[in-house]
Amino acid sequence: MNGQTKLSGRFTLPGTSLNLYRMGYGAMQLAGPGVWGLPPNIDEAVAVLRNAVAAGVNHIDTSDYYGPTVTNQLIKQVLHPYPEDLVIVTKVGYRRGSAKSWLPALSRQELIQAVEGNLRNLGLEVLDIVNLRVGGNAGPIEGSIE
């Protein structure tokens, strides 16, 4: 694909003016093995990001808990300032434990900290899309997350 090729299936995200192509780039594997630490080859990770955008990908799915923080910091380093039509989609709802574990982080304070961390590590003032990730054995929490 060349830089002029757009990935098929463009749609407008309901309730917004965001135009996305159906195929984006999931950045989870930019981090090291087990989604922890730096990637084994930084130059290859940089090339993947640049090639994805050059191929017409206009949204990247990431999270601060990939690495942790490694993936978002790499995206910022390589792509910031972001192309005008690039949408960063991020997730909150988990954090990484010291043993590389995935720990639910669903309290009000944890969600606020996650959003703030994503903003900081991506170099953004606003997050276009934030997905709340719940699942596994994490049951419902008491009260609203509003």
- Inform me whether the pLDDT recorded for 33 exceeds 90: yes
pTM, whole model, 2 decimals?
0.86
- Rounded Cα distance between 41 and 30, Å, is 9
Q: Residue ranges per domain, the chain?
A: 10-132
The question of whether 66 is a catalytic residue gets the answer: yes
Q: Is the model more confident about 20 or about 90?
A: 90
| Most confident segment among 12-26, 41-55, 128-142 | 41-55
With bands split at pLDDT 50, 70 and 90, how would you rate the model's confidence at 1?
very low
Could you give the 3-state DSSP secondary structure of residue 66? coil
The 10s digit of each residue's pLDDT in 111-140 is 999 999 999 999 999 999 999 988 765 555
Instruction: Given the residues 21, 25, 65, 66, select the one marked as catalytic.
Output: 66
CATH fold of 10-132, please? TIM Barrel (3.20.20)
Nearest to 106 by CA among 68, 132, 126, 130: 132
